[in-house]
Amino acid sequence: MKKFFNKYKNYSFIAIFLLITLYITYEYYNKYFYMLKNPYKVKSFILSYGKYGFVVFILLQIIQVVAFFIPGEIIQITGGYIYGTVVGTILSLIGITIGSCITFFTSYLFGKSFTKKIIPRKDFKFFNKILKFGDINIIVFLLYLIPGIPKDVLGYICGIANINFKNFLMYSTIGRIPGIIVSSYFGRNLNSGNNITLITIAIVMTILFFIGVYKGEKIIKNIISK
């Protein structure tokens, strides 16, 4: 057992980490999923931890990236609601970046067969096709930039794709920044009474979301071809 553990210690640590993460996610998902649809309830949950609230917020961001089925937008909005646009953006970026690193290395170490088991089949096929359009670095940047694309799944896909970790981290982070800033700004204005700003942002982001869902692939093809 000792020889086996020494030989596969890296995989063992990752497996243990994943099991713990999945267990925590399952427990919290069942108990608090209703809360993740409401930024006011998420805020109350985070602030209940007092001075450690920012740590809980970062952990929530990590978990929602690793467990890609958990909606992340409400958590980002809550970051702006609690901490303001700038600090909320920074904290969200820290959590999301750590979560992205975990997803990348999970699939990188466990390989394609493992990744195919945890990723929905249609998403795996979709990204596997798009990543072959051209320069993978630019494609990854565009996929993270365009709203409406399931970005958290993409971290797992990139771990087995032809992109190195340094480029993945750089291009995915840069691509995420605009969306995180907008979500944080939206959250910052929830209690401002400026309903026109909130409605305008909501309408614009909804339009961009549907454009990304229905035209995202075509947009990426056109940009790459040019």
Per-residue b or e along 60-86, where b marks 16 or more CB atoms closer than 10 Å to that residue's CB: bbbbbbbbbebebbbbbbbbbbbbebe
Burial class (CB in 10 A: 0-12, 13-18, 19+), 28: middle
Using the predicted structure, report yes or no on whether residue 87 has a pLDDT greater than 90: yes
Handedness of CA 169, 149, 99, 179 (dihedral sign): positive
- pLDDT value for 107: 87
Which pLDDT does position 14 carry in this prediction? 60
Query: What is the 3-state secondary structure of 90-151?
Result: HHHHHHHHHHHHHHHHHHHHHHHHHHHHHCCHHHHHHHHHHCCCCCHHHHHHHHHHCCCCCH
Give the rounded percent of residues in the chain with a pLDDT score beyond 70: 80
For residues 108 and 90, the model is more confident at: 90
Q: What residue ranges do the domains of the chain occupy?
A: 2-225
CA separation for the pair 203, 64 (Å, rounded): 25
pTM higher than the cut 0.85: no
How many whole angstroms separate alpha carbon 101 and alpha carbon 79? 21
Instruction: Tell whether the model's pLDDT for residue 54 goes beyond 50.
Output: yes
Q: What is the pLDDT of residue 148?
A: 77
Task: Examine the pLDDT at 96 and tell me if it is beyond 60.
Answer: yes
Q: Nearest to residue 208, comparing CAs of 138, 149, 165?
A: 149
Nearest to 95 by CA among 140, 65, 53: 65
Distance of CA 226 to the CA centre of its chain: 28
